[in-house]
Structure 1
Amino acid sequence: MQPATSTQLVSVTMLRGLASLAVCWMHFTGTVPRTILAETGRYGGFGVHVFFVISGFIIPYSLYHSNYKLHNYFKFLLKRILRLDPPYLASILLIFILAAVAKLSPYYSGSSHQFLSINTVYHLFYVADIFDGKWYNTVFWTLAIEFQFYLFIGLFFPIITNKNQFIKIICIAILVPLPFLLTDKDFIFRYMLLFLPGLLLFLYMTKQLNRQWYIISSFIVFYLNYFISDWGGVIACILAVAFILFVEKPVRPLLFLGAISYSLYLIHLPFGADAFINFLQNYITGVNGRILLIFIALPVTIFGAWLFYKFIEQPSIRLSKKIRY
């Protein structure tokens, strides 16, 4: 096995696009319950599992190839904040704007959010769940877990990449049982088995873990994942790893979706599901019409995500790249 190459990075980008699309499709088809279409989105939530696997792989991969050291920890966190927070905060602002517009409609029945509130402060620090707040967007809880992973991996990375193979195995052995010992769903430990497949793949593909130990440790992680996320989660993790390993040919539509995946993930609920589908459903009574509405909403939302990416996310990407270790 050769070290990770641009081929793997292409596969990660495409996989990210598929995962974001799956989550989007789940929420869109959820607007027409008890239909065949709703069944097609039933397993879209496992896209979150795929995102965690991707982060488990790509974050340490990036640290490895940027010669990251522990003294770069706060630079690393700043880099992630500059990369992810501007779009995240912009999506929160979008939620308030759309809610204000929606209140003008006679059909509006949603709950109002107070912009200047302690709950907004919780959002700024990704701690709404921890302090019993309420996420303005239900997918935000996954961003909180991701941010905790950044806090964790920045500290843990120098240990997991230690040249001593025995130390690596001990570290992995310590991480594996954490979901069963620390079960609070508000913290990363509960989801460690979803990040580990990606982390193990990173170690293997950078030749820091030999094939024998990789197969053994991966088998254990996949097996134990069943008790955390059932077979659906296990299959999602296995497919994610296989996709990164074996998919080599770039597919342009998937590369496009991968590029805008974060923007799509952020806005598909407030813009696509709430502002577009749920609002227009007030004027459509038939099931067939509502199903057609979903197929219209998808390209509209993807276009909106592209605009969001171009004008909000891309500048934050450029800004984060100015931070070097």
Structure 2
Amino acid sequence: MKEEHLIKFDVLRGIAIILVFSYHVLGSVFTSGIMINTYENGILTIKGSSAYLVFLTFFPLSYGWAGVHLFLIISGFLIHYSYLKKNTDKLNFGDFINRRFWRIYPPYLICLFVFSFATGNILSTSKGVWDFLSHLFLLHNLSNDFTQSINPSFWSLALEFQLYLLYPLFLFLRKKVGLSATCIIALFVSILLSIFQILFPVLKQPAIELSVFRFWIVWILGAFLAEKYYTNKRMFRINTVGLILMWGSFFVGRCFSFFTIYLIGLYVSFLFIMTIEWYLYNPPKISFPGRLLVNIGLCSYSIYLIHQPYLKVLIRFFNMFNAGGVSFLISSLDYILIFIIFFLIARSMYVYLELPSVQLGKLVYNKIVKRKSQLV
């Protein structure tokens, strides 16, 4: 892949973390809810809702949770594209999992310790011990009790690593039944899960909603796009106007309960696939906003790791100085200042933690490989 296209994925990461960060900010400010979820005969009703709630319901950043979908699509694309470039039928799983481990786990581990013990000793109770251990082994998204504990953002780190472990299965299915059929299988798994949740409401719980079975299709869509892009084949042929209309249809769909409850995640994933493909084949030059997003994207992982636990504290701190109440201008300035604080911390983490961790992983793996070759 050309260097300019790799940079574009940093832009996309920057957009993804801004979406997630904005969603968490809105959730911290508007604690009573950021959107209307009242329906009559399956159609959204704004009767009795305040003007700000109507605005937030159709405000794009209120759907910042979709930033996680974008992160997963980017991950699927880049990992599979890297595999395709090696032009081999066999995945070196040891090398693959080593690189992924050192990329995400050491920064995560340090943040896990910080957030686990910052407000007390989490190990003082048996539940706390299990909570900590489930996070340590990246299994916490399998438990309703621990999915959103310690640091709510951590749930997707467990999901991400579980998706890495499923990559060999994806390659196996791709070889046996083909790429399209593999996507259909993953889609079927996600749809089947939704059907079971309709039939058995008891299954509507965080550990299932945030499970790898729900999000495997999202990750695979990124891999699917990578393969199409690698072979210079288009998934969609859509122009800028068409893309804007497709995003508009997302907000139309939001007016219907069935779409909102069962289809919204898949739909936004397909919209991201369309957008990324359009971006790759119609690449505008990287302007100043683009370069800014590149820098944010480089630090996006660290921003994701650290921002949520202390977000409310910082919001309350800045609100102390807003004697005239919360206005749009003041709130926007607060948002920017808070983001800058997290960005500066994350930038240091990227330089002094993330990059050295990746280098250490290479050294460790090379030594292991060298030692094994000497024993043979």
Q: Same fold (TM over 0.5)?
A: yes
1:122 to partner: Cα distance: 0.3
1:191 correspondence with 2:215: yes
1:56 to partner: Cα distance: 1.7
Q: Which residue of 1 aligns with 2:263?
A: 227
| Whole-Å separation in 2 of the counterparts to 1:167 and 1:297 | 47
Q: Which has the higher mean CA deviation after the structures are superposed, 174-183 or 81-90?
A: 174-183
1:227 to partner: Cα distance: 2.4
Question: Secondary structure of 1:313's match?
Answer: helix
| Whole-Å separation in 1 of the counterparts to 2:326 and 2:153 | 26
Deviations 1:265-317 (A, max 9, x none): 1111124x144224554676632466543332111111111112122112112
| Whole-Å separation in 1 of the counterparts to 2:167 and 2:264 | 21
CA contact (8 A) 2:218 2:266 kept: no
The structure-2 alpha-carbon separation of the partners of 1:244 and 1:72, relative to structure 1 and needing over 3 Å to count, comes to same
1:228 to partner: Cα distance: 5.4
1:29 to partner: Cα distance: 3.0
Q: Which residue of 1 aligns with 2:12?
A: 15
| Whole-Å separation in 1 of the counterparts to 2:223 and 2:181 | 14
1:125 correspondence with 2:137: yes
| Whole-Å separation in 2 of the counterparts to 1:124 and 1:157 | 28
| Whole-Å separation in 1 of the counterparts to 2:219 and 2:339 | 29
CA contact (8 A) 2:183 2:217 kept: no
1:172 correspondence with 2:186: no
Q: Which residue of 2 aligns with 1:310?
A: 351
Which amino acid letter does the alignment assign opposite residue 205 of structure 1? Y
Q: Which residue of 1 aligns with 2:76?
A: 56
1:277 correspondence with 2:288: no
Identity %: 27
Which amino acid letter does the alignment assign opposite residue 308 of structure 1? M
The structure-2 alpha-carbon separation of the partners of 1:269 and 1:169, relative to structure 1 and needing over 3 Å to count, comes to closer
| Whole-Å separation in 2 of the counterparts to 1:283 and 1:118 | 41
1:65 to partner: Cα distance: 2.6
CA contact (8 A) 1:260 1:305 kept: yes
1:242 correspondence with 2:278: yes
Q: Output the TM-score relative to the length of structure 1.
A: 0.78
CA contact (8 A) 2:80 2:223 kept: yes
Deviations 1:62-114 (A, max 9, x none): 222345664621331122111100111112223245435xxxxxxxxxxx844
Q: Which residue of 2 aligns with 1:294?
A: 335
Alignment equivalent of 1:154, drawn from 155, 160, 168: 168
| Whole-Å separation in 2 of the counterparts to 1:310 and 1:300 | 16
| Whole-Å separation in 1 of the counterparts to 2:236 and 2:73 | 16
Which amino acid letter does the alignment assign opposite residue 202 of structure 1? A
| Whole-Å separation in 2 of the counterparts to 1:200 and 1:191 | 14
Alignment equivalent of 2:295, drawn from 247, 256, 260: 256
Gaps of 5+ in 2: 35-51, 195-207, 238-249, 251-258, 370-376
CA contact (8 A) 2:20 2:64 kept: yes
Gaps of 5+ in 1: 101-111, 217-221
CA contact (8 A) 1:12 1:244 kept: no
The structure-2 alpha-carbon separation of the partners of 1:94 and 1:249, relative to structure 1 and needing over 3 Å to count, comes to farther
| Whole-Å separation in 1 of the counterparts to 2:343 and 2:155 | 22
Count of matched residue pairs: 300
1:129 to partner: Cα distance: 2.6
1:249 to partner: Cα distance: 2.7
| Whole-Å separation in 1 of the counterparts to 2:183 and 2:66 | 24
Which amino acid letter does the alignment assign opposite residue 195 of structure 1? W
Q: Which has the higher mean CA deviation after the structures are superposed, 44-53 or 228-237?
A: 228-237
The structure-2 alpha-carbon separation of the partners of 1:202 and 1:290, relative to structure 1 and needing over 3 Å to count, comes to closer
Question: Secondary structure of 1:269's match?
Answer: coil
The structure-2 alpha-carbon separation of the partners of 1:69 and 1:114, relative to structure 1 and needing over 3 Å to count, comes to farther
| Whole-Å separation in 1 of the counterparts to 2:236 and 2:82 | 23
| Higher RCO structure, 1 or 2 (CA under 8 Å, sep 6+) | 1
| Whole-Å separation in 2 of the counterparts to 1:279 and 1:237 | 39
1:49 to partner: Cα distance: 1.3
Question: Secondary structure of 1:126's match?
Answer: coil
Alignment equivalent of 1:143, drawn from 157, 163, 186: 157
The structure-2 alpha-carbon separation of the partners of 1:46 and 1:167, relative to structure 1 and needing over 3 Å to count, comes to closer
Which amino acid letter does the alignment assign opposite residue 312 of structure 1? L
Larger Rg: 2
CA contact (8 A) 2:319 2:326 kept: no
Question: Secondary structure of 2:62's match?
Answer: coil
